[in-house]
Structure 1
Amino acid sequence: MGGPLRYRRARWAARSRAGVLVNGFTEAPTYTPTSPGAQPFVSPQQSMPRRKAVPALGSLCLQSLVQHMQSVWVKDYSENYLDEYSFRFVMGPFNDLAGSLVQDLIRLLGESRRLSRAALHLLLLPHLQELSLQHCHSLVSNAIGQLIAVRCKSLSVLDLHGCSRLSADVLVDVVEELPLLSRLGLAETQANVQVLAAVGSSCRRLRELDVSRCRKVTPRALRHLAYDPLERTLGCPTLRVLLARGLEPAGGGVVSALAFVLLALPRLEVLEHGDVPAALGLLHAGQLDGTGDADDFPSLRELARRRGGPPLTLPLRRLEELTEPELAAARAVCPDAEEVAACLGDGATDGWDALLSWSRLARLGLSCAGPRGRALCEALPLARGLGSQLQTLALHGFLLEDELALCALLGCCPNLRDFSAELLPPPRGRPDAEPPEEPPRWDTELLPRGLPRLQRFSLALPGPVPAPHGLLLRATLASLLCRCPRLQSLRLLGIALPLDSVFETVLTAPGPPLQELQELSLVESRVSERTVRLLLASEGRLRRLDVSRCRDVHRRDYDGFLQAVRKQRLDLDITWE
């Protein structure tokens, strides 16, 4: 791949055709099965998992670069120049690669543990617009940080997650030299008050910032992010997302500092921190005095006055870790919330009215914290009220006492794209003298409208289920799976009911259903090798199948699955233990 490389003090002049190969050719076509129908057992050419695709030419070229990076591309640089000179710019074969391909190359090298310090020197190029060093954070030293600040002036996205070797002083230099940043990841770094002050004053286009698990980010540092007391100006005017989970407590004032940030950042839509609900309660209660400090920060009352009102409202779109008593205050201060996660107690529900009054609520998560739990049917009025506006619904800790509750709840939310539930089986009553007989084929009319937009469905139901509940649950699953044509991920976890007949009903239905399914997890559920064989013989896109701890799937079955996958050269990973 070319002759020996020649170096000059300020640039590397050698060139390679590798970049031309990656950029100059279109991707190779891939084979996709196009069988018109679906039967329980068909020929291998019509199998549900797709055959392994022919690798694209660009991917092959990048893999070749990864394999030969050290022995060909950086050998001379490593041996003769790495520690002798500090090159302001390096020009060579990688300058011909598009910035996105350079980023892919860094990622592949990092994931395969083949990225060296010398290779990273050569790949920090001026035309990079996005750079993530999360996969090679152990290589990122102060010297690398200085190279980023000097060379990569065009960066709009920089992720330094876990790069703890970068000192705070170098982080300050980096953010001050990169004014075009729109996303910045500083999670698990040495970011401190000086770094956040530099971010607030220099990164005027910043829209997303992650300082999660930074031990030196204190409440005072958060204030400096949002306000410059020397210039008396607000910082980060375009910031929309601030991730600040896992910060170590450093004295008091966390709640008031979060309230300060909420008032000082006018476009903030997401603030992730466990004390945000308390900060919203403080603002709703009007406790705005005595919260300035000796560094000439304005008080909460002064910031609130600048925001206008009353009433005081904030543009937050995501609210998490709310308790039931906090819902009313959160609704009053954040009327435009689109995503809410709340924890309910055992008593009478006080938060339904607040939840129902959020006109833009599209993603809802509810969990039950009390020892008794709540019946799933108690959530039905909420589902009916929110109706078609819900796109995501997550439920945890509800009791499946009414056998029709799950079907009724799904029927109220026809536009769901993501549904997950971890339910508890009802308390055992007296055993049925004669369990109902399982039908030869499940009725698929329980959900006649189906969920046409559903892409992800997860249901966990550990423990034994009474016979009437088991019949209704399986009929609900059969009806649902026949009427969710966009389903991509399906997880049925710990369901102690025979599910073979459900999958047989679904996979032999007209259509067939599940053509878009890519991930299927049946961990600890009652399925046998019969279901897996049906899946292997049906049309679709299945890539990952997990049948771990399924008591009716045995080692010989698993060996047979692997043999069929190898023989048909299917792009399918099967997990079993």
Structure 2
Amino acid sequence: MPLFRALDEQAEAKARPRRRGLRNTKATGSCWRMRDDDRVLSLTRLCLLSLADNMKDLWVKDYADNYLDHYSFRYIMGPFNLLPGELVEELTWLLSNRKQLSRAALHLLLVPHLKGLSLERCPGLVTPALCAHIAARCQGLRSLDLSGAQQLPPKALCETMSSLPAVRSLSLAGMPCDRSVIQTVARHCRLLQHLDVSRCHLLSPAALLPLGGVVLRPSSSSFSSTSSPLPLSSLLALDIGFGEQEEDSTVAAAYLLLSLPCLKRVALEGLGPACRLIEQREFSQADEFADREGVSSLHLVWRERLLGQSSESWMTMRGKESTDNGEVESPLLEDGCDTEEDLIKDEWPFCLQIQTEDRMQNLSQSGLILQLKDVKGVTCESLRSLGNLCPGLNSLSLNIGKQGPLLTADFQTWSGQLLNLSFIYSGPVVDLLPALQVAGCSLISLTLEEVKTRTDTPLLELIRVCPRLRDLLISAEPPATPQYETNDNQQDDQDLPKLPNLRSLKLSFSYEHNQMKPLMYWMSLKEVIRCLLIGSPLLENLSLISLPCPLNCVIQDTLRSVNLDMNPNADSSGLPPPPLGRIEHIDLLRTDVQMSTVKSVMQLSKRLKYVDVSYCWRISQREWLDCKKFRQVEVVWV
């Protein structure tokens, strides 16, 4: 097999136009979805599916039999060099998703023009030898995901990252990543914008400091850095540093918040206390940490950040004044050739030397404003400080312990602007209702985990105060006391709250493992589910697991409410689709649903691709085997 030689420009130019206009699709990660009105797979997707089906018996077989363990190629000239990088990436994703990706297939697909590579679904393939191939062949990679590859030593990872200077997004979650890896990334991946090192247990919180360039010069006590901070806008580092002191997590998070000015999305251990430390300026708490780690004092880092924030404000104001006076704008605003530091050095010497103290005093009064938009890993105690530091927040994941009723005042800061909200709360749902009445009007995603329910839990009111939801996920404990109804007092459909934009719904209840089926004694929950199914015509993903109430009758009632004159596709007629008319994925584990009801849903929705009815005790193996032949729907049953 010949070694790789660069594609000539003419061949590459011929390949590019084929991508244009191939499909009108929207991107979802590294794969494409068809438009809502598409009923037939695009020609490109059909070709890729054919390639995926023939990889093992054709190209992979030939390469594995004749070359894989006999030669070591720096590059391989094969049929995939002629494909655009985006299609190679999608083909890799298809093989990975089907569990058909092998070492030989990866060798063939590691082409020089590949921009994105995700091996999250097959971490067993990630070895030092494969990483050497990646480093040699794919130096233009912009996105790399090696999450879960636990057999890759830090030294091999360092060698790989030192050869990938173009990486913008890097996911190393769950890997044996240590301080040396972070130092290598900070030194060589200078364009990095997203980093995920969650669950890297060998990584201490202090080891993340090189990302912000925070280093103390041995000969000076003033703040300095070996290099400028990375342009990180997203940093995910939860569940790291086993055995580290809690104070280290707080101080390290404070350093990172102050030294990484581009951060928008953050998930850090100790993030909440760090916000409180910065907001209350209790910098003396970090002195011991600074001495031990050899970094500048947190107070100096804070002053440097305030100076940077002041210079940005000054530059904006000066550019506006120059424009208002008819003068030529500054070089930075004109063509971007000069850096902000150069401009300050040339045109702001007196401000720096004479007015520094006055400016610092004004900044101290006004306070520091962080640009965070998405925050994970904070607790209820830190909400007030978080609101003062991050008034522009629109996504929040909160572990609130036992303080649910105290949230209302703290959420006023973000009233009308929060889009995504997640609670981890081991108390009753009713405690969260006051906070949702403040923040719910703007929410498009709501997640409630570990919450407790009662038979009088106001789920309908929760739906009413969050009318714009697209995603609703509730993981809860069932009621401890039973509720048995003698009659069903169903409300009129017009009186029920609706979620017309809802795309994804999950209601999951815990259960006793020694029970074949959950106890069904929360009868009023049927009305809530009926409300959600009927009032959400755009629903695509439905997950109802271990419900403590009958479900089969609710789905049948929903299907009876469907107007037969409605067009389920609703694309040409303009009418809204009927309930469950656009469903694509259904999980109904441990419910009383019957196979006849499942078949009715299949007949209604032409989009349905997957149904999981595992542990549904009213479905027999014979019914499941018969239903497996139904259209193209994958039906899972245990």
Secondary structure in structure 1 of the residue aligned to 2:448: strand
Q: 1:479 to 1:540 in 2, by over 3 A?
A: farther
Secondary structure in structure 1 of the residue aligned to 2:494: coil
- Spell out the pairing of 1:393-472 with structure 2 (5 A cutoff): 393-398=446-451, 400-401=453-454, 403=456, 405-424=458-477, 428=481, 435-438=485-488, 443-447=492-496, 450-460=498-508, 470-471=523-524
Deviation of residue 79 (structure 1)? 5.9
Secondary structure in structure 1 of the residue aligned to 2:133: helix
Q: How far apart are the structure 2 equivalents of 1:109 and 1:527?
A: 34
Aligned partner of 2:48: which letter? G
Q: How far apart are the structure 1 equivalents of 2:20 and 2:49?
A: 11
Aligned partner of 1:59: which letter? L
- TM-score, length-normalised on structure 2? 0.72
Secondary structure in structure 1 of the residue aligned to 2:57: helix
Q: How far apart are the structure 1 equivalents of 2:213 and 2:15?
A: 49
Bigger relative CO (Cα 8 Å, ≥ 6 apart): 1
1:543 aligned to which of 609, 616, 635: 609
Q: How far apart are the structure 1 equivalents of 2:431 and 2:125?
A: 53
- Spell out the pairing of 1:166-565 with structure 2 (5 A cutoff): 166-227=152-213, 229=215, 232-233=225-226, 235-249=228-242, 251-252=244-245, 253-289=248-284, 290=287, 291-293=289-291, 296-308=294-306, 309-310=363-364, 311-346=367-402, 349-359=405-415, 360-369=417-426, 373-374=427-428, 376-398=429-451, 400-401=453-454, 403=456, 405-424=458-477, 428=481, 435-438=485-488, 443-447=492-496, 450-460=498-508, 470-471=523-524, 473-508=525-560, 509-510=562-563, 511=566, 512-551=578-617, 553-555=618-620, 558-565=621-628
Deviation of residue 345 (structure 1)? 4.8
Q: How far apart are the structure 2 equivalents of 1:546 and 1:138?
A: 27
Q: How far apart are the structure 1 equivalents of 2:171 and 2:451?
A: 37
**Paired position in structure 2 for 1:42:** none
Aligned partner of 1:446: which letter? D
Q: 1:159 to 1:517 in 2, by over 3 A?
A: same
Deviation of residue 156 (structure 1)? 0.7
Secondary structure in structure 2 of the residue aligned to 1:445: helix
**Structure 2 residue 92 is matched with structure 1 residue 99:** no
**Paired position in structure 1 for 2:328:** none
**Paired position in structure 1 for 2:334:** none
**Paired position in structure 2 for 1:33:** none
Aligned partner of 2:504: which letter? R
Secondary structure in structure 2 of the residue aligned to 1:146: helix
What whole-Å deviation, never above 9, does each CA across 1:420-468 have from its counterpart, x for those lacking one?
Answer: 2244555548x87xx43347x87322325x11111111224566576xx
Q: How far apart are the structure 1 equivalents of 2:636 and 2:122?
A: 29
Deviation of residue 129 (structure 1)? 1.0
Deviation of residue 116 (structure 1)? 5.5
Q: 1:139 to 1:396 in 2, by over 3 A?
A: closer
Aligned partner of 2:597: which letter? T
Q: How far apart are the structure 2 equivalents of 1:344 and 1:251?
A: 23
Deviation of residue 394 (structure 1)? 2.1
Judge conservation of contact 1:444–1:476 (CA < 8 Å) in 2: no
**Paired position in structure 2 for 1:75:** 65
Q: How far apart are the structure 2 equivalents of 1:544 and 1:564?
A: 12
Aligned partner of 1:452: which letter? P
Secondary structure in structure 1 of the residue aligned to 2:56: helix
Deviation of residue 12 (structure 1)? 11
What whole-Å deviation, never above 9, does each CA across 1:309-362 have from its counterpart, x for those lacking one?
Answer: 432332222333433323222222332222223344556822221123224322
Judge conservation of contact 2:502–2:539 (CA < 8 Å) in 1: yes
Deviation of residue 494 (structure 1)? 2.5
Q: How far apart are the structure 2 equivalents of 1:214 and 1:426?
A: 37
Q: How far apart are the structure 2 equivalents of 1:346 and 1:172?
A: 43
Query: Which consecutive unaligned segments of at least 5 residues does structure 1 have?
Result: 30-49
Q: 1:63 to 1:101 in 2, by over 3 A?
A: farther
Q: 1:417 to 1:108 in 2, by over 3 A?
A: closer
Judge conservation of contact 1:199–1:236 (CA < 8 Å) in 2: no
Q: How far apart are the structure 1 equivalents of 2:133 and 2:449?
A: 48
Q: How far apart are the structure 1 equivalents of 2:438 and 2:305?
A: 32
Q: 1:460 to 1:312 in 2, by over 3 A?
A: same
Secondary structure in structure 2 of the residue aligned to 1:56: helix
Judge conservation of contact 2:628–2:635 (CA < 8 Å) in 1: no
Aligned partner of 2:303: which letter? R
Q: 1:52 to 1:548 in 2, by over 3 A?
A: farther
Q: Percent identity?
A: 28
Q: How far apart are the structure 1 equivalents of 2:444 and 2:237?
A: 26
Q: 1:245 to 1:96 in 2, by over 3 A?
A: same
Judge conservation of contact 1:168–1:190 (CA < 8 Å) in 2: yes
The number of equivalent residue pairs is 525
Judge conservation of contact 1:27–1:57 (CA < 8 Å) in 2: no
Secondary structure in structure 2 of the residue aligned to 1:177: coil
Q: How far apart are the structure 1 equivalents of 2:197 and 2:292?
A: 24
Judge conservation of contact 2:214–2:296 (CA < 8 Å) in 1: no
Judge conservation of contact 1:12–1:90 (CA < 8 Å) in 2: no
**Paired position in structure 1 for 2:336:** none
Q: How far apart are the structure 1 equivalents of 2:634 and 2:389?
A: 47
Q: How far apart are the structure 2 equivalents of 1:64 and 1:21?
A: 22
**Structure 2 residue 109 is matched with structure 1 residue 123:** yes
**Paired position in structure 1 for 2:574:** none
What whole-Å deviation, never above 9, does each CA across 1:38-80 have from its counterpart, x for those lacking one?
Answer: xxxxxxxxxxxx9999981331123212332343234332364
Q: 354-363 vs 203-212, which deviates more?
A: 354-363
Aligned partner of 1:368: which letter? Y
What whole-Å deviation, never above 9, does each CA across 1:99-123 have from its counterpart, x for those lacking one?
Answer: 2333344455556676565554443
Q: How far apart are the structure 2 equivalents of 1:529 and 1:516?
A: 19
Judge conservation of contact 1:66–1:105 (CA < 8 Å) in 2: no
Aligned partner of 2:495: which letter? L
Q: How far apart are the structure 1 equivalents of 2:146 and 2:507?
A: 36
Aligned partner of 1:354: which letter? D
- TM-score, length-normalised on structure 1? 0.79
Q: How far apart are the structure 1 equivalents of 2:105 and 2:601?
A: 44
Deviation of residue 181 (structure 1)? 1.1
Secondary structure in structure 1 of the residue aligned to 2:184: helix
**Paired position in structure 2 for 1:571:** 632
Judge conservation of contact 1:23–1:97 (CA < 8 Å) in 2: no
Q: How far apart are the structure 2 equivalents of 1:51 and 1:562?
A: 27
Q: 1:171 to 1:521 in 2, by over 3 A?
A: closer
Aligned partner of 2:55: which letter? L
Q: 1:574 to 1:357 in 2, by over 3 A?
A: same
**Structure 2 residue 144 is matched with structure 1 residue 151:** no
Judge conservation of contact 1:546–1:574 (CA < 8 Å) in 2: yes
Q: How far apart are the structure 1 equivalents of 2:76 and 2:93?
A: 20
**Paired position in structure 2 for 1:60:** 50
Q: 1:170 to 1:424 in 2, by over 3 A?
A: closer
Secondary structure in structure 2 of the residue aligned to 1:349: helix
Judge conservation of contact 1:377–1:402 (CA < 8 Å) in 2: no
Secondary structure in structure 1 of the residue aligned to 2:290: coil
Q: 1:396 to 1:560 in 2, by over 3 A?
A: same
Query: Which consecutive unaligned segments of at least 5 residues does structure 2 have?
Result: 24-38, 218-223, 307-362, 511-517, 567-577
Aligned partner of 1:297: which letter? V
